[in-house]
Amino acid sequence: MKFYSTRGKSVYENAAAAIAKGLAEDGGLFVPETFPCLKESLANMLEMDYAERACLVIHSFLQEYDKIELLDACKKAYGRFEDNDAAPVCKIDENLFILELFHGPTLAFKDIALTLLPYLLRKGSDISGIKEKIMVLVATSGDTGKAALEGFMNANGIDINVFYPSQGVSDMQKLQMCTQEGENVNVVAVNGNFDDCQTAVKKLFTDDKFVAELKEQNIILSSANSINFGRLVPQIAYYFSAYCDLVNCGEIKMGDKVNFVVPTGNFGNILAGYYAKLMGLPVEKLICASNDNNVLTEFFADGTYDANREFFKTVSPSMDILISSNLERLIFEISGRNADLTRERMEELKKQGKYALSDGEKTAIDKEFFAGYCDEEDCLNTIADFFDEYGYVLDTHTAVAVNVNEQYLAYTGENAPTVILSTASPYKFPQSVYGAITGKKINDAFSAAYKLFDESAAPIPEQISTLKSKTVRFKKVVEKNETGDAVKEFIASRK
């Protein structure tokens, strides 16, 4: 299957080459030539475990990968998850379910892709005949960074450099990244927000001089952000898996449509759900939930994407994003795969900070999506109310999704089976969660975690309880125009 750039100037013969490259030479994102239909495979997937389901979905795109080897890689990746189940579905109430995606090594949904991506990237490079050493660049709003660091730690022939906003992640997220073990990893804080980090990293991929300097040292760049299709494709699998689990439990019948509610920042997670629908999964509505950085909510409301707005630091920092990179892939699809138009719009976004859809495109996305946002007060109140009613502890991102789902139900009066994607453990944000439940303020993250356990009896994950004793290895802070120098400094240190 060929892969095309959303901006039209790059075509790769297969997924392996697209994954190895990460970002297209023209700055666009790689998309598949077509979306394989798995509607007839759903019945067979009912009897599969998670790794088998994931392998089936992923291999439908990555046909040049050996399927038996891919299945083995999936089993190894998802064997690292609690109870050997990467994506359990928890019933909360009538027609309301939570897809728990935080049982992996770093307690965030990013683990589902990033435990597998090192295999996909290394194997893709081998298939493509790439012999150079790979430098993976990552911009993170909190969770991607740690998941990528953990996934690529000590990976053969791959180094990884993570950039995060210096004041834009939680205390636990920062400590998880800055204590990371492994000689091939590096973590750098950037003075700015996530958009600054993301823009700086993407700019390095298209900086011919920088790329040439690395090439002289036998190094090529790749990405572990969801701009890389290898990050995105494993996420499609858990939509199919959740649906199969609901059928197996008798909550729905095969063919019934289901809503999915997704706390959204960079748009990769919910885009995976849209791709699953294009592949035949019976999805009724994809509900896009934002926090105070509600650029996506307004985009779905009026068809104009306008990033010219105040940036807010919130209690749900992984969603503190104004430039949602993966939206480019949706724009490409709803425009009729018009690469020229997509490229023009991305140029408008770069130069003017905004672009607009046509009336026909706006009508098309209205059929697929509903969008809403939740402010800080409502987010914290939702955590408290949900705990009071169900005894279930939400993190600050999942609470946004729960609140927006309530908005959707009030707006439509519908009550279809609904799966809310829970993207992180509440123990990654203990001060906010404990404060929401009790009304008490604790500044220290570890004290808040212990108090949250006393209040909720929800077990503290070992990844959190052991974090306090780890040594902080990374303290470097740079300006956004110094990210390239930081990468070159890291390369020099590895010689």
Q: In this predicted structure, what is the pLDDT of residue 37?
A: 98
Helix/strand/coil (H, E, C) string of the chain?
A: CCEEECCCCCEECCHHHHHHHCCCCCCCCEEECCCCCCHHHHHHHCCCCHHHHHHHHHHCCCCCCCHHHHHHHHHHHHCCCHHHCCCCEEEEECCEEEEECCCCCCCECHHHHHCCHHHHHHHHHHHCCCCCEEEEEEECCCHHHHHHHHHHCCCCCEEEEEEEECCCCCHHHHHHHHCCCCCCEEEEEECCCHHHHHHHHHHHHCCHHHHHHHHHCCEEEEECCCCCHHHHHHHHHHHHHHHHHHHHCCCCCCCCCEEEEEECCCCHHHHHHHHHHHCCCCEEEEEEEECCCCHHHHHHHHCEEECCCCCCCCCCHHHCCCCCCCHHHHHHHHCCCCHHHHHHHHHHHHHHCEEECCHHHHHHHHHHEEEEECCHHHHHHHHHHHHHHHCCCCCHHHHHHHHHHHHHHHHHCCCCCEEEEECECHHHCHHHHHHHHHCCCCCCHHHHHHHHHHHHCCCCCHHHHCHHHCCCCCCCEECHHHHHHHHHHHHHHCC
For 362-379, how does the pLDDT look when each residue is reduced to its tens digit (9 = 90+)?
999 999 999 999 999 999
Average pLDDT over residues 112-126: 95
Kindly state the percentage of the chain with pLDDT values over 90: 94
pLDDT value at 404 more than 90 = yes
pLDDT class for 136, splitting at 50, 70, 90? very high
Q: Which domains are assigned to the chain?
A: 85-107+230-461 (3.40.50.1100)
Mean of all residue pLDDT scores within the chain: 96
Kindly indicate the confidence band of residue 112, based on its pLDDT and cuts at 50, 70 and 90.
very high
The answer to whether residue 471 scores a pLDDT higher than 90 is yes
66-83 pLDDT tens trace: 999 999 999 999 999 998
Of 126-135, 232-241, 339-348, the poorest mean pLDDT is in 126-135
pLDDT value of position 477:
97
CB 120 within 8 A of CB 15: no
> What is the per-residue pLDDT for 444?
96
pLDDT at residue 84, as a whole number: 84
pTM: 0.95
Phi first, then psi, for residue 205 (nearest 5°) are: -65, -30
Using a 10 angstrom Cβ sphere, with 0-12 exposed, 13-18 middle and 19 or more buried, the burial of residue 68 is exposed
- Indicate if the pLDDT at residue 491 is higher than 90: yes
- Predicted pLDDT of residue 415: 87
Task: Please state the rounded mean pLDDT for residues 84-110.
Answer: 96
Q: What is the pLDDT of residues 160-175, one digit of tens each?
A: 999 999 989 999 999 9
Check whether 495 has a pLDDT greater than 90.
Answer: no
Average pLDDT over residues 457-475: 95
Confidence tier at 9 by pLDDT (50, 70, 90)? confident
